[in-house]
């Protein structure tokens, strides 16, 4: 019967041992979620069970994803399980799509207790690609370590899950749908929302849209090229940059979200966004940007493809922060960067006497500082930049931040960056990634490295490459004590800091999926040699980094898989 209440079932299951979410969620091959019996159900149940029943019952939750393969199928299950777990109202993105930065905005707008984001960020999509599930809490940001470990603990002993298998939600029609459930359960309301509009509203309150409109479509407009890489941001770019700010259609490329991102890696870097870089070479565009699959990462380019490193981008935004009206009103409480990010931001903080925090890699660490009102702007070398308007990094926000600076200063991207180096000196920064290497080999390498750098004799040791001599000043395994809740995060990367401020950092990636990924970060500071080639400038440091770690010998590789 059509109108009879929907049945709520409890289904027996067996736990999986490998459902430990990181701050960027649980990421696995699509096939794991799709074909391992109840794998998806188990994890979703663990999320719901981690929320106290009193908080969960009748609560509002947000659901959306980056549109990758399995997005829709997963949403159907999540809705059925949310209903059976007592959630009262679900706010879901139109077609099941919502960018990662839009999720916190919608969580706050609807006063939700949290949100479930279906994304594997910049990892490839499609049936053979990756899928991921991330849980954000009421502040809008990724769940804290305490919450993610609770989810993991529950998943390890899970014996049953609750579901309403007959519930079918229509993701195509904006507006409310109500579902009656049997027994004691209250009805579930599902609201399909236009997250683009909510998010656009947020940006309107941060930036001067009239000035941006003038810059992009006024008398002497600059020409921009924005690559959504077939990720979730396509509709946001079209609505905000083209429709509202007047950019011509040629400004927006790859703006149709695709389940497999057109077969590419939806990752904004010089290698994966080669199409954008190529289209900028001949100088037809003054400003370029690309985003990742879920829209939180960004890459900024100037005319002829002039590359702004994420670390420089952060420092430049910090130095020009009052070009953004939001900060004129709210003031600037502090800056933060992840440990591997170059220290360019530190120089701005010092000059402006604004407090700076150094956190482990992972956006969640910033969220805590922002909630406590300590930080207003933060960023990471991994192409993440954002303000305290939400608790995620925000790709489109970064683009509008840059456009605001250009609009105020009336200088090109390249000039703005070069001015910055002239003012502060330059941090040359690069990252070597060794992907899909043998986990045991690199764990041994990290262990041996740690023993070596922990030895008292390591400090003051000198390394000479050609005419350069580096003397170790400090070396450790980075450990972070959160100034707000005093929680301690250990093992966050091995650091070697030299007396001239140069740094070598070794870290294992927490987001890769095939084998292990080792990252080596190289950061050096120059006061006078400002316009040299990054790889040439950092080659002595790279030689030392490889020599100390014996990385090539241990992994059988002859070079990094990717250099950013
Ligand atoms: C995700 C997080 C970032 C973090 C990055 C680290 O993108 O959202 O905040 O910096 O992962 O990735 P990694 O692969 O280096 O662990
Ligand atoms: Zn992302």
**What is the predicted pLDDT for the residue at 385?**
98
Whether residues 370 and 328 fall in one domain: yes
Average pLDDT over residues 41-68: 96
pLDDT for 124 equals: 94
Q: Which ligand is nearest to the CA of 265?
A: 2
Marked catalytic residue, from 121, 313, 404, 407: 121
Looking at the structure, tell me whether residues 492 and 445 fall in a common domain. Answer: yes
What mean pLDDT comes out for the span 68-76?
Answer: 97
Instruction: Report which DSSP code applies to 237.
Output: I
Question: pLDDT-based confidence at 466, cuts 50/70/90?
Answer: confident
- Residue 3 included in any domain: no
Predicted confidence (pLDDT) at residue 67 exceeds the cutoff of 90: yes
Q: Indicate whether 272 and 155 sit together in one domain.
A: no
In terms of pLDDT, which residue wins out, 22 or 253?
Answer: 253
Structural domain including 213 reads 199-424
Query: Residue 1 domain-assigned?
Result: no
- pLDDT beyond 60 at 499: yes
Rounded CA separation 39/82 (Å): 16
Residue 3's pLDDT is 65
Ligand nearest 121 Cα, by number?
Answer: 2
Is 466 in a helix, a strand, or coil?
Answer: coil
Regarding whether 285 and 399 lie in a shared domain, the answer is yes
What pLDDT is attached to residue 184?
A: 65
Q: What is the pLDDT of residues 142-180, one digit of tens each?
A: 998 889 999 999 999 999 999 999 999 999 999 999 999
Q: What is the CA radius of gyration of the chain?
A: 24
Q: Give the mean model confidence (pLDDT) for residues 345-351.
A: 97
Mean pLDDT of 193-222: 96
Q: How many structural domains are present in the chain?
A: 3
The band of 559, judged by pLDDT with boundaries at 50, 70 and 90, is confident
For ligand 1, atom 15, which residue shows the shortest CA distance?
509
Q: What totals of helices (H) and strands (E) does the chain contain, helices first?
A: 19, 27
* Ligand 1: nearest atom to the Cα of 382: 10
Q: Which of 203-217, 243-257, 364-378, 506-520 has the lowest mean pLDDT?
A: 506-520
In-domain check, residue 2? no
Report the separation in Å between the CA atom of 511 and the middle of ligand 2, taken as the mean of its atom positions. 11
**Ligand 1, residues 122, 359, 361: which to mutate, most atoms within 8 A of Cβ?**
361
Last residue of a domain, one of 424, 451, 483: 424
1 has a pLDDT exceeding 50: no
Percent of the chain past pLDDT 90, that is, above it, reads 88
Mean pLDDT (whole number) for 291-306: 97
User: Is 4 part of a structural domain of the chain?
Assistant: no
Burial, 388: exposed, middle or buried (Cβ in 10 Å; 0-12, 13-18, 19+)? buried
pLDDT of residue 562: 87
Task: Answer yes or no: do 232 and 376 share one domain.
Answer: yes
- The CATH number covering residue 281 comes to 3.40.120.10
Q: Calculate mean pLDDT across residues 326-347.
A: 97
Is residue 291, in this structure, part of any structural domain at all?
yes
Q: Within a 10 A sphere around the Cβ of 58, how many other Cβ atoms?
A: 12
Q: Give me ligand 1 centre to Cα 147, in Å.
A: 18
DSSP string, 88-148: -EEEEEEEEE--TTHHHHHHHHTT-SEEEEE--TTS--STTSEEEEEEEETTSSBPPHHHH
- What distance in angstroms lies between residue 368's CA and the mean position of ligand 1's atoms? 17
Among residues 138, 157, 191, the one where a domain terminates is 191
Quote the pLDDT of residue 325: 98
Say yes or no: CB of residue 384 within 6 Å of ligand 1: yes
Q: Which residues contact 412 (CB under 8 A, 6 or more apart)?
A: 286, 302, 303, 406
SS3 357: strand
- What pTM did the predictor assign? 0.94
Backbone angles phi, psi at 449, to 5 degrees: -60, -45
| Residue 121 annotated as catalytic | yes
Over residues 365-388, the pLDDT tens digits come to 999 899 999 999 999 999 999 999
Distance 121 CA to ligand 2 centre (A): 4
What percent of the chain is predicted at pLDDT more than 70? 98
| pLDDT, tens only, 468-490 | 899 999 999 999 999 999 989 99
Residue pLDDT, tens place only, 402-449: 999 999 999 999 999 999 999 999 999 999 999 989 889 999 999 999
């Amino acid at each position: 019967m059509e109108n009879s209440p929907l049945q709520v079932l409890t289904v027996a299951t067996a736990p999986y041992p490998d459902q430990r979410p990181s701050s960027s969620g649980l990421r696995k091959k699509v096939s794991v979620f799709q074909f391992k019996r109840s794998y998806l159900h188990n994890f979703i149940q663990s999320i719901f069970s981690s929320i106290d029943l009193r908080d969960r019952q009748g609560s509002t939750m947000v659901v959306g994803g980056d549109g990758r393969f399995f997005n829709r199928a997963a949403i159907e299950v999540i809705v059925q399980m949310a209903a059976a777990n007592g959630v009262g109202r679900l706010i879901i993105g139109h077609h099941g799509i919502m960018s990662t930065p839009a999720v916190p905005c919608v969580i706050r707008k609807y006063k939700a207790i949290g949100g479930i984001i279906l994304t594997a960020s910049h990892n490839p999509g499609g049936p053979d690609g990756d899928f991921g599930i991330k849980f954000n809490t009421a502040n809008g940001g990724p769940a804290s370590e305490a919450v993610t470990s609770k989810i993991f603990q529950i998943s390890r002993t899970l014996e049953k899950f609750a579901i309403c298998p007959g519930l079918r939600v229509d993701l195509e029609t904006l507006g409310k749908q109500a579902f009656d459930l049997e027994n004691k359960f209250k009805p579930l309301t599902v609201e399909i929302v236009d997250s683009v509009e909510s998010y656009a509203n947020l940006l309107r309150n941060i930036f001067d849209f009239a000035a941006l409109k003038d810059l992009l479509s006024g008398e002497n407009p600059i020409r921009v090229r924005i690559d959504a890489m077939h990720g979730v941001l396509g509709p946001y770019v079209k609505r905000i940059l083209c429709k509202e700010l007047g950019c011509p259609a040629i400004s927006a490329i790859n703006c149709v979200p695709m389940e497999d991102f057109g077969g590419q890696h939806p990752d904004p870097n010089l290698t994966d966004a080669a199409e954008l870089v190529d289209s900028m070479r001949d100088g037809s565009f003054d400003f370029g940007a690309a985003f990742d699959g879920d829209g939180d990462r960004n890459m900024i380019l100037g005319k002829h493809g002039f590359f702004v490193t994420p670390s420089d981008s952060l420092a430049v935004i910090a130095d020009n922060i009052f070009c953004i009206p939001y900060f004129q009103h709210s003031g600037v409480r502090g800056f933060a960067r992840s440990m591997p990010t170059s220290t360019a931001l530190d120089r701005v903080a010092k000059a402006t006497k604004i407090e700076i925090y150094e956190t482990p890699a992972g956006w969640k660490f910033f969220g805590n500082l922002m909630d406590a009102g300590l930080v207003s702007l933060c960023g990471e070398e991994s192409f993440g930049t954002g303000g305290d308007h939400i608790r995620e990094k925000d790709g489109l926000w970064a683009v509008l931040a840059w456009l605001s600076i250009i609009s105020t200063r009336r200088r090109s991207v390249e000039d703005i960056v070069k001015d910055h180096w002239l003012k502060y000196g330059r941090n040359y920064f690069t990252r070597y990634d060794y992907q899909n290497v043998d986990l045991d080999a690199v764990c041994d390498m990290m262990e041996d490295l740690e023993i070596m750098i922990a030895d008292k004799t390591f400090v003051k040791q000198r390394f000479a490459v050609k005419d350069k001599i580096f003397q170790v000043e400090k070396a450790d395994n980075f450990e972070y004590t959160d100034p707000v809740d005093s929680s301690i995060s250990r093992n966050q990367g091995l650091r070697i800091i030299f007396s001239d401020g140069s740094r070598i950092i070794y870290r294992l990636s927490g987001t890769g999926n095939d084998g292990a990924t080792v990252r080596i970060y190289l950061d050096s500071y120059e006061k006078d040699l400002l316009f040299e080639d990054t790889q040439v400038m950092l080659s002595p440091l790279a030689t030392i980094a490889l020599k100390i770690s014996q990385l090539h010998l241990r992994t059988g590789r002859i070079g990094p898989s990717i250099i950013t």
